[in-house]
Structure 1
Amino acid sequence: MAANDATETTLDEPTQVLEFDIGDERYCVELDAVAEIIDRQSVRALPDTPPHVVGAMDYRGVTTTVIDTASLLDVGSNPDAPRVIVFDDGDEDSKVYGWLVDEVERVADIDPENVDDAPFGGDHTKGIVRRDEGLVVWVTPPTDGSE
């Protein structure tokens, strides 16, 4: 799937997402993509990495790339965020990586009628979810954590 295809996907039925905060903004990702939510651990720097890569940590014996999610999504920078959303599709050849977030809020169902196209956000933004409490930016994690 091309990166832009994620923003063109039409939802036919409710989808479960994990909602999280970065700064004052609320975001969500499809729950199926999430392996686990953990507290931030010790991270060691990696040479020659993109600016949004904070470093690597050990996650269940696997070297895991740690991403400054705010920087990746171009909404600032927070390399010291306390929580990590770990993405691992279980494929031996894929990288395990974690997104740094300020807080994980809840698992929620998204009704397709409440999702609008995103007017911003580039390749990682799937849509904007309208909720009574405000808007939630639906993002799609990169397939290898380094995009």
Structure 2
Amino acid sequence: MGSASNDGGTDEPITVLTFDLEETRYCVRAESVASVLSVTDDDPLAAADDPWDAGTLSAAGERVRVVDLPRVFGSSFRTAARVDDPKLLVFSVTDDDGRYYGWLVDDVDVTRRVRAASLEVPAMTTTHVKGRLEIDGDDVVWLDERTIHS
């Protein structure tokens, strides 16, 4: 498939980290995630005007710029029905201000090994989704962290 060229043109296994937003399972390259943190108070993030830049949190002495994925990819009423214990995926890249990127998600699962050739490219043109694949019988949306951070 043409999508394999995005991953070096080979069909080597790739490790992805799966996570949930509402009823949908997503994944991202595991190697791009530096850590997973619990968020005890996400009220300031939920009140932010722009879910793509929902604010900055401090974690382990580092600043993390948060993308509020439940508001970006979830339903419009999501802020009223947020989960009690959201997680923050902290990526190993920083923005121009030295802040790490972080994605607020509902829950984080485990890493899985997948093959790039199993990725089905999206039917519609989208910059944030690499495609869909099946992992353990579940339909999983593979997000492209590079385009979300740009």
TM-score (norm 2): 0.74
Which whole-Å CA distance do the structure 1 matches of 2:66 and 2:138 have between them?
29
Q: Report SS of the residue matched to 2:71.
A: helix
Query: Mapping of 1:31-70 within 5 angstroms?
Result: 31-42=30-41, 44=44, 50-70=50-70
Partner of 2:6: 9
Q: For residues 32 and 111 of structure 2, what CA distance do their matches in structure 1 show?
A: 13
Aligned counterparts, 1:95-114, within 5 A: 95-114=99-118
Q: Which runs of 5+ in 2 are unaligned?
A: none
- Distance in 2, Cα, partners of 1:34 & 1:14: 17
Mapped contact 1:95–1:144 kept (Cα < 8 A): no
**Which whole-Å CA distance do the structure 1 matches of 2:95 and 2:105 have between them?**
24
Asked whether 1:128 is paired with 2:132, we answer yes
Structure 1 portions without partners, runs of 5+? 1-5
Alignment of 1:10-25 (within 5 A): 12=10, 13-25=12-24
Change in 2 beyond 3 A, CA 1:19/1:51: closer
Cα offsets for 1:84-111 (capped at 9, x unmatched): 1111237996430211111111100012
Amino acid at match of 1:76: S
CA gap of 1:92–1:68, structure 2 versus 1, over 3 A, is closer
- Contact 1:88-1:95 at 8 Å conserved across structures: no
Instruction: Give the paired residue count.
Output: 139
Q: Call closer, same or farther: CA 1:51–1:39 in 2, change over 3 Å.
A: closer
Residue of structure 2 equivalent to 1:3: none
- Letter of the aligned partner of 1:55 in structure 2? G
In proportion to residue count, which structure has more helix?
Answer: 2
